[in-house]
A = this chain, B = another copy of it.
């Protein structure tokens, strides 16, 4: 392995000067810089990041913990975060939490062990009151929907606002019996409960009474659980003319489930999702959905975590992404 010392010897300078050249520090004459760069090229020298990290205490890596990387929403998020971090000279390491509180706690611990400089945690299961959840000065940015009470930097989605807009949109299209397909636990503050609140707020704003019988719980944010909820919806025999799904992926499942039962969208039931995953615009019918600004969220999260890396004591802030309601064929 070629070390800095080898390069120094080759170009007839000290290790320190080589280091200065590599890190673009001032105080190196053009002539020496040229010689050193030439020696690096010739020798094929590469910086040893472990040594640098050992000395400097920084890895240049930001962790990104998501529930499952194979869900379109998180794949997109990851792509944006990677791009944004690269622009700031950071590398991104992806962790999977399995959408469980334990996995999320592990991710923090693991991030620390791996010596990531900071962590962006897309939290869905964790309880903000969890005693194991202590920043301890370690730069963590939360990306999710719990209420972290300013204990962490937090980038939130416009869950209530978005779900409310989706619901009033259905009503304005003529729907009166609007079901919601959403998570099975309506306790606490999370994606599921906040979108449910938005749904209720939407009904209220248009003077409709909520009907608890029109809530169809799913155990996970998956295609299959959406389909299965649609079966229950149809088989219940209840009159329904609109469905708000907690996410686009669930909406895709609901759509398939309705089709399996011979129910047409938007003819019999209008359907709206949340997330605006890329596939939404390409479904037939295309899916109306709430589109939070993903790039904005990724950029904000990276901005916050890098700022906190530089100054761990800065005050934490709460930030909510802008959104747009994408009206497409499924609510035509």
A interface residues (Cβ-Cβ under 8 A, vs B): 46-51, 53-54, 59, 68-72, 74-76, 78-79, 82, 91-94, 96, 112-115, 223, 227, 252-253, 255-256, 259, 278-279, 281-284, 286
CB distance from A77 to the nearest CB of B (A): 8
CB distance from A298 to the nearest CB of B (A): 11
Query: Which one, B69, B113, B223, contacts A82 given CB within 8 A?
Result: B69
Besides A46-B112, A256-B286, 15 more A-B contacts (Cβ < 8 Å) are: A47-B113, A50-B51, A69-B82, A70-B72, A70-B75, A72-B75, A78-B94, A79-B96, A82-B94, A82-B96, A94-B94, A223-B278, A256-B281, A259-B284, A283-B283
Query: Which one, B50, B79, B82, contacts A115 given CB within 8 A?
Result: B50
A interface SS class = helix
Contacts of A278 in B (CB 8 A): 70, 223
Pick the 3 closest A-B CB pairs, nearest first: A70-B75, A50-B53, A70-B79
**How many Å lie between the Cα of A251 and that of B161 in the bound state?**
34
**How many Å lie between the Cα of A254 and that of B115 in the bound state?**
45
Contacts of A113 in B (CB 8 A): 46-47, 49
Contacts of A69 in B (CB 8 A): 69, 75, 78-79, 82, 94
Q: Which residue of B lies closest to A77 (CB)?
A: B70
Q: Which residue of B lies closest to A286 (CB)?
A: B256
**How many Å lie between the Cα of A68 and that of B256 in the bound state?**
27
Most buried by B among A69, A71, A112: A69
Contacts of A54 in B (CB 8 A): 48, 50-51, 54
Indicate if the CB atoms of A59 and B68 lie closer than 8 Å. no
Query: Which one, B75, B115, B223, contacts A279 given CB within 8 A?
Result: B223
Q: Which residue of B lies closest to A260 (CB)?
A: B284
**How many Å lie between the Cα of A72 and that of B70 in the bound state?**
6
Indicate if the CB atoms of A115 and B259 lie closer than 8 Å. no
Q: Which residue of B lies closest to A94 (CB)?
A: B94
Query: Which one, B115, B256, B284, contacts A48 given CB within 8 A?
Result: B115
Contacts of A223 in B (CB 8 A): 278-279, 281-282
**How many Å lie between the Cα of A113 and that of B252 in the bound state?**
42
Contacts of A51 in B (CB 8 A): 50, 54
Indicate if the CB atoms of B279 and A255 lie closer than 8 Å. no
Contacts of A96 in B (CB 8 A): 79, 82
Contacts of A259 in B (CB 8 A): 284
**How many Å lie between the Cα of A266 and that of B53 in the bound state?**
58
Indicate if the CB atoms of B70 and A78 lie closer than 8 Å. yes
**How many Å lie between the Cα of A81 and that of B76 in the bound state?**
18
**How many Å lie between the Cα of A75 and that of B69 in the bound state?**
6
Instruction: Please list 12 pairs of residues, one from A and one from B, whose beta carbons are closer than 8 Å in the complex, sorted by A's number.
Output: A48-B115, A50-B50, A70-B278, A74-B75, A75-B75, A82-B96, A223-B278, A223-B281, A253-B282, A256-B282, A256-B286, A283-B283
CB distance from A104 to the nearest CB of B (A): 16
CB distance from A279 to the nearest CB of B (A): 6
